[in-house]
Structure 1
Amino acid sequence: MISTVKLTISIAGVKEVAQLICDNRTVSITFKMKNGFNKTYTDSDFYRCFGRVREDNPNILFLCKGSKINVHPSSMSSQMSLGLKAYELTLGKASSINDVIYIFDYDESNLTNDPNEQRNFYKRWFESEKSN
């Protein structure tokens, strides 16, 4: 199944709408912009595909939850939703069903294009959980 997500992006402070075409057969995202840019990224789930999109386009700010430093999927959420659902984590607080988000929902706070920052936050969160 193929679905298209419209996503707000910001380039040098100018917002526009881009498209992410998600194909769950190949687990890929095709990133399309108004200027004709069109590139496909493939990985094990959509969260990881989206990470590749962001890494490859460091000049573009993707205004959505999947770009937040404190968003990371669990193994189960990755398997069940192909990475479209993840947890919005808080240091020192156990995650719950109330923390599950859709990665392409709009957000403009605490964003990063570096999936390593998200992995590092996840490790810090995990350690903060072990100490509680």
Structure 2
Amino acid sequence: MTIEKISILIGDKLEIAVLDYDVDSPAIQITLENGWTKKLSGLDIYECLGKIIQSLPDVKFLCKGAKINVRPSSMSSQMSCGIMAYEHKLGVRASRKDLVNIFQYDDQDIINDPKMQTDFFYRWLESLKNS
């Protein structure tokens, strides 16, 4: 298992969440500062993070993996177990320079429902047809 620490906001309080993840059998165990813990599994680590985000709607996860426009490709999911993902821009094809680590800090365009990321991804795909 590998440990990452990410910033979260609970209300107006900034805290650190500990994410203990396993890429061999994709799962993340989250531990909050108050000791609360939960473990979720999925197809890759990105999906596991999405499940955690969805299960804690009052928590704002300050990382790239919680950003509306971040999603791994099939290849990045397979090669990095979803830890590396693309930060998409409408009308612009993704390139290697758009690859980000889902645990990297970010506080812009953060979502609390992974469906919003899926919806953005399809909008992004459609935007490529018009550019």
TM-score, structure 1 normalization: 0.97
Mapped partners of 1:24, 1:101: distance in 2: 17
- Matched residue, 2:7: 8
How many aligned residue pairs are there? 131
User: 2: distance between equivalents of 1:84 and 1:67?
Assistant: 12
Q: Paired residue for 1:128? A: 127
Distance 1:101 1:117 in 2: 19
- % identity of equivalent residues: 43
Offset of 1:26 from its aligned partner? 1.8
Matched position secondary structure for 2:127: helix
C-alpha distance in 2 between matches for 1:36 and 1:102: 26
Structure 2: which 5+ runs fail to align? none
Q: Tell me the distance in 2 between the aligned counterparts of 1:77 and 1:84.
A: 8
User: What secondary structure is seen at the aligned counterpart in 2 of 1:110?
Assistant: coil
AA of the residue aligned to 2:18? Q
- State the AA in 2 paired with 1:74: S
Could you state the TM-score of these two structures normalised by the residue count of structure 2? 0.98
CA RMSD, Structure 1 to Structure 2 (Å)? 0.6
**In 2: Cα distance, 1:76 partner to 1:26 partner:** 18
The ranges of structure 1 where at least 4 consecutive aligned residues each deviate by more than 2 angstroms after the TM superposition are none
